Structure 1
Amino acid sequence: MTPPILPAKHSTSASAHAHHGHPPERRPHDLRPWQILLLFVACLGLVSIPILTHPIPPLSDYVNHLARMHVIASIPGDQDLARFYTLKWSILPNLMMDLIVPLIDKVVGIYTAGEIYTLMCFALIAGGTMTLNRTLFGVWSALPLLAFPLLYSGVFLIGVMNYYFGIGLALFALSAWVALRDKWWPWRYLVSAAFVVALFFCHLFTAGIYGIGILAYELDRLRLGRGPIWPRIGVFVSGGLPFLPILPLLLASPTWGLSGQNYWEPQGKIAGIELIFNVYIDHVAVAVAAIFIVAGVWAARHRLLYVHSFMLPLLLVAGLVYLAMPRVVFATYMADQRLPAAIVFMVLAAMRADLRHRFARRGFAVVLILMLAVRVGEVQVVWDRLSQWTVAFRESVTRIRPGSRVLVAYADIQGGNDPTDLGLMHAACLAMIEKSSLVTTAFTVEGKQILRARKPFNEQVDTEDGTPPQIEQLLVTEEDPTPDGPRYWDLWPSKFDYVYLLFTERGAPNPDSDHLKLIAEGERFQLYEVVPRPPALPALPAPPAPRS
């Protein structure tokens, strides 16, 4: 038996349900609003545990972003940071964290500010899912609480914090569009245009997520609407008007200079879907996905699952966009693979369950708590284990002199492919926070971030968001520059004070004892101090010529 499909327009009255083929006695029952609110607060508290117990979560880009927030909040008061870095504010589709976190940092400190911002992202996404569901169905429902177990995903591990904030904002934006759909039309377009601008500054891709939602919803309205077709087509086409501000914003942004850096890759499309459930442990991902599927099938077979008619066009539009999207867009990697982890919250918002029976209520509560406990437990256990090197890494930073220049290199080019290695990739940026250092891997890409390295230090950092050099590359560029073009690590012994060697092992031999001195190490890293070259001895005067 297939789940009931509700029409595009809804009313909470019994007569409305009877008119649309759902008699009053079959109207889905749910938990009371105050019960849903209590569950929301409880779930938010549970999902916050790994964040609150790990001030430096082992996420890939997180520490790099956090270091930039610290620089924004500290310049010009910190003379060392001001010597190395400057801020170049411009119209960038990647600014929300830069605007919020430095303000919080002035009150509570940078690590707590990062935790608060992360929990804001979680609350926005879960709250946006609940609100969109309420707008679509006309009543509050408990089923969107299932968004909480999906907040920790493979996409979250990358540390794309602006994108995560934008997902939540896009859900609220779509809620506003649906709520204003039958109101005075100028309000709908003005509110939507304001959301589009805000989403642009969160992340360009989140404006696209909002666009997918509006396109799917308007297709549903067009499909089920009545009356002359051409006026309805005109209204459908006009749904794109609020997105017009993106074009001038993008053209005025340095990000436009990255518009040619795109490529499409057929492999990895299935992996992008797996990122919805897969975090660290494959068995846990399979278990969570299986619980979702089994519970959904059971509810559908017992006619307890109600699906909004918006669901079908949403899946079609999102699926086509996902298949067509390149892997890299505007030099941003994993552009396509980020999409499923965002669309899944719209999918949840388009469903509600009939919880009139005590068994259904208990079953829903068991499924929710079980999945959330499994997911939070998985993250907590892995992060506790990873905190061993996190603590060791932070202790190693204390060995660095303030105002130093830090070069990051890899011992293993495959490092970072395992999810447990992601937090190490940008951990060296802790030296920016703790020691006001120059770090070669700090995000200073024009068109992506507002942070820039001052001259002459801009020639000593990665300005292309590339992969750090391998130790073999350092060994061949000690005395001579790279043959096929200058690299920021060329002649490194004379330009840097420390070298972080990542993805190595404790006790690994010193790769260059003439120029490096080991001063700290952990499970997956070593910190070397660069041995300064001895000053060249002055040339001895030539002996006098013998007299004839």
Structure 2
Amino acid sequence: MQGDAHTALRWWQTRWFVGAMALAAAIPLLWPDIPPLVDLPGHMGRWRVQQAGGEVPWLAQWYDFNWMLIGNLGIDLLMVVLEPLLGLELAVKLVVLTIPPLTAFGLLWIAREVHGRVPPTALFALPLVYGYPLQFGFVNFALSMALALNAFALWLRLARLGRLQLRAALFVPLGAVIWVCHTFGWGMLGLLAFSAEAVRQYDKGQHHGGTRWFAAVFWAGIHCLSLAPPAALMVLWRTGGGVSGQTADWFNWRAKTLWLMMVLRDRWLTFDLAGFAALLIVIGAAIRSRTLTFSRNLAFSALVLAACYVLLPRIVFGSAYADMRLAPYMLAIGIVAIRPKPDIASGRAVLVATAGLAFVAIRLAATTVSFYQFDRVYDRELAALDAVPVGARLVSFIGHNCRNDWKMSRIEHLPAMALVRRLAFSNDQWSMAGAQLLTTKMPQAPGFRFDPSQITTPTRCPREWWRPIAVSLTWFPRDVFTHVWLVDPGPYDRRLEAGLKPLWRDGRSVVFEVEQGVPAATLRPNDLGPLGPEFLERIGKLRGHPHIAETAALKPS
């Protein structure tokens, strides 16, 4: 690719095409009012407290919000500027809307810098901009990764132009900005920059008489010192008082295999796995084909990311899915590393580009349909908020099952929209000191204060923390909460509604007002399914502590 600098650009190599592909990546997010990403509504609840907490006194009774410098502030800081101008929901939508285009542009820019022109195979990487981490709603993380990809492309460009002093100066603030957005993006930028610089130093050494790899690695480290300052911020953050969270679950090979298979997980199991298979076919073809090859630069970067993926535990500082988050970006860099050999027939290159464009179009169309359908669910369920008074002490219970269905419901953190729109209490917020700026108080409601207390199941699930709906409805402290919101809770005995006055109902979803002084129904073993008797025996040993989700009695069986 680099040798055809004087030949005409193909359609997939033009600037207008790259721009069109980047803009097209935003299409699935245009229709939904709230991007249907699992954790996003929960984050929106935090941003509502962040922006309104000083003006709404009851929020300060329920939540502690304290600004501090942590590596997880990307959209949090943007909301400070955008929310007063646009309102919270529109501001969040517009910021999230930029993430897929930024990611797509970064990948194509990297391809252009490494190969000289965008190879037709690079198009196959673009559907990964809607990889599983974004679908899960890790939005600060996804924004930082999008910024990191573009920063890496700039790193490569400045090296190609010989502007190394300018690069060193620019990447001191750039690295800090990406770290503040999310630590993971800064870490990936460091890995990509180091691996690319090591290859550049190795090639430079070969040209001047054969520098060995250890020398190339040494000088790559020297050049990457401009990215090092946030390491001091990381130490201060993680050694400061009040920071919690463990690092655990190393070398979980089953989970790591599943994360790879789930890189395109959205709604349709067979369709999404077929997309993953297509990515493997592209990589396999590049390994075995006589017409495709790999850039050593990006191939080495992909191998470094793969090693990091293997070594990362599932939980880092209490944050789950640490290794899973890297999977789609690792594959994307591996695919962007592929290019046709210079002697490939023109017709075959066009065929590869057409197949790549078709793959992008099919995946984008499917994601658009999927997000539209999730948006309809959101609209139907959020109609319940018309029945929730402003400032209600609301406890919410969201229906789940004991299976890990491929199509996630995306409603697990919908209760936070009551906090966003009605300034009501939401028991879905994460409460981990040091990991985020918000922690939940409400000490009079232990076990019903924070995530995952909002998740309920029809029966007791083995190896899960979630409560059965019968437990949730009979145990929540009725003198603390004024309203209950059930969101598609699954079947349950209507006698469990004792003391609850329905204000709104649509199918199984319902908003109740708590009738003070009316006792809850009695919990029976058959309300809990096959594990009910054993479960009640365990909690019988903790008589006098009826609200015990934060005790051993509700730990996984």
Question: Shorter-chain-normalised TM-score: which range?
Answer: 0.7 to 0.9
Residue number in structure 2 paired with 1:21: none
The answer to whether the Cα contact below 8 Å between 1:157 and 1:422 also exists between their aligned partners in 2 is no
The answer to whether the Cα contact below 8 Å between 2:245 and 2:319 also exists between their aligned partners in 1 is no
Give the CA RMSD over aligned residues: 3.4
Query: Which deviates the most, 207-216 or 94-103?
Result: 207-216
Q: How does 1:126-525 map to 2 (within 5 A)?
A: 126-141=104-119, 143-181=121-159, 183=162, 185-224=164-203, 225-226=205-206, 227=209, 228-229=211-212, 232-253=216-237, 257-258=243-244, 260-264=246-250, 265-294=252-281, 304-353=291-340, 359-360=347-348, 362-410=350-398, 412=400, 414=402, 417-453=404-440, 462=449, 468=455, 470=467, 471-474=469-472, 477=475, 492-502=477-487, 504-505=489-490, 508-510=492-494, 512-522=496-506, 525=509
SS at match of 2:494: coil
Q: How many equivalent pairs are there? A: 498
Partner Cα separation in structure 2 for residue 499 and residue 213 of structure 1: 48
Q: Kindly tell me: are residues 320 and 222 of structure 1, through their superposed partners in 2, closer, same or farther at Cα, counting changes over 3 Å?
A: same
Structure 1 gaps of 5+ residues are 1-5, 7-11, 18-23, 478-488, 536-548
Partner Cα separation in structure 1 for residue 329 and residue 303 of structure 2: 15
Partner Cα separation in structure 2 for residue 233 and residue 85 of structure 1: 48
- Give the residue type in structure 1 aligned to 2:333: M
Residues 95-151 of structure 1: CA distance to partner in whole angstroms, max 9, x if unpaired?
Answer: 001011342233333222222111211121111112222222334555534443222
Q: Kindly tell me: are residues 102 and 145 of structure 1, through their superposed partners in 2, closer, same or farther at Cα, counting changes over 3 Å?
A: farther
Residue number in structure 1 paired with 2:554: none
Q: Kindly tell me: are residues 422 and 267 of structure 1, through their superposed partners in 2, closer, same or farther at Cα, counting changes over 3 Å?
A: same
SS at match of 1:426: coil
Shift of 1:358: 5.9
Shift of 1:444: 3.9
Residues 254-284 of structure 1: CA distance to partner in whole angstroms, max 9, x if unpaired?
Answer: 6863364433233211111112233221221
Q: Kindly tell me: are residues 511 and 157 of structure 1, through their superposed partners in 2, closer, same or farther at Cα, counting changes over 3 Å?
A: farther
Q: Kindly tell me: are residues 206 and 522 of structure 1, through their superposed partners in 2, closer, same or farther at Cα, counting changes over 3 Å?
A: farther
- Give the residue type in structure 1 aligned to 2:52: S
Shift of 1:246: 3.0
Shift of 1:194: 2.4
SS at match of 2:497: coil
Residues 366-410 of structure 1: CA distance to partner in whole angstroms, max 9, x if unpaired?
Answer: 323422232123223333333443122110111101001121335
Shift of 1:465: 6.4
Shift of 1:458: 8.9
SS at match of 1:403: coil
Q: Kindly tell me: are residues 352 and 513 of structure 1, through their superposed partners in 2, closer, same or farther at Cα, counting changes over 3 Å?
A: same
- Give the residue type in structure 2 aligned to 1:263: D
Shift of 1:55: 1.2
Partner Cα separation in structure 2 for residue 324 and residue 244 of structure 1: 21
Partner Cα separation in structure 1 for residue 22 and residue 495 of structure 2: 47
Report whether the alignment pairs 1:99 with 2:85: no
The answer to whether the Cα contact below 8 Å between 2:299 and 2:334 also exists between their aligned partners in 1 is no
Q: How does 1:5-24 map to 2 (within 5 A)?
A: 17=3
Identity of aligned pairs, percent? 20
- Give the residue type in structure 2 aligned to 1:350: A
Partner Cα separation in structure 2 for residue 503 and residue 100 of structure 1: 33
Shift of 1:466: 6.8
Partner Cα separation in structure 2 for residue 209 and residue 65 of structure 1: 23
The answer to whether the Cα contact below 8 Å between 1:91 and 1:252 also exists between their aligned partners in 2 is no
- Give the residue type in structure 1 aligned to 2:499: H
Residue number in structure 2 paired with 1:545: none
Of 27, 32, 37, the match for 1:59 = 37
The answer to whether the Cα contact below 8 Å between 2:83 and 2:91 also exists between their aligned partners in 1 is yes
The answer to whether the Cα contact below 8 Å between 1:255 and 1:330 also exists between their aligned partners in 2 is no
SS at match of 1:258: coil
Residue number in structure 2 paired with 1:112: 90
Partner Cα separation in structure 2 for residue 350 and residue 305 of structure 1: 10
TM-score of the two chains, using structure 2 as the length reference: 0.79
SS at match of 2:493: coil
Higher Rg of the two aligned structures: 1
The answer to whether the Cα contact below 8 Å between 1:30 and 1:353 also exists between their aligned partners in 2 is no
Partner Cα separation in structure 2 for residue 233 and residue 296 of structure 1: 27
Q: Kindly tell me: are residues 273 and 231 of structure 1, through their superposed partners in 2, closer, same or farther at Cα, counting changes over 3 Å?
A: closer
The answer to whether the Cα contact below 8 Å between 2:11 and 2:17 also exists between their aligned partners in 1 is no
Shift of 1:320: 1.8
The answer to whether the Cα contact below 8 Å between 1:73 and 1:103 also exists between their aligned partners in 2 is no
Residue number in structure 1 paired with 2:511: 527
Partner Cα separation in structure 1 for residue 429 and residue 379 of structure 2: 21
Shift of 1:448: 1.8
Query: Which deviates the most, 263-272 or 162-171?
Result: 263-272
Residues 205-234 of structure 1: CA distance to partner in whole angstroms, max 9, x if unpaired?
Answer: 222212221232234235443244475453
TM-score of the two chains, using structure 1 as the length reference: 0.80
Q: Kindly tell me: are residues 295 and 363 of structure 1, through their superposed partners in 2, closer, same or farther at Cα, counting changes over 3 Å?
A: farther
Residue number in structure 2 paired with 1:541: none
Query: Which deviates the most, 94-103 or 429-438?
Result: 94-103
Partner Cα separation in structure 2 for residue 300 and residue 172 of structure 1: 27
Residues 47-86 of structure 1: CA distance to partner in whole angstroms, max 9, x if unpaired?
Answer: 3232111112332101111222233333434455455445
SS at match of 2:318: coil
Partner Cα separation in structure 1 for residue 118 and residue 397 of structure 2: 52
The answer to whether the Cα contact below 8 Å between 1:519 and 1:527 also exists between their aligned partners in 2 is yes
Indicate the structure whose relative CO is greater, using CA pairs within 8 Å and at least 6 residues apart: 1
Q: Kindly tell me: are residues 323 and 292 of structure 1, through their superposed partners in 2, closer, same or farther at Cα, counting changes over 3 Å?
A: closer
Partner Cα separation in structure 1 for residue 194 and residue 52 of structure 2: 43
Partner Cα separation in structure 1 for residue 350 and residue 506 of structure 2: 47
Q: Kindly tell me: are residues 287 and 513 of structure 1, through their superposed partners in 2, closer, same or farther at Cα, counting changes over 3 Å?
A: closer
Query: Which deviates the most, 285-294 or 144-153?
Result: 285-294
Structure 2 gaps of 5+ residues are 456-465, 520-557
The answer to whether the Cα contact below 8 Å between 1:389 and 1:522 also exists between their aligned partners in 2 is no
- Give the residue type in structure 1 aligned to 2:360: L
Partner Cα separation in structure 2 for residue 523 and residue 41 of structure 1: 45
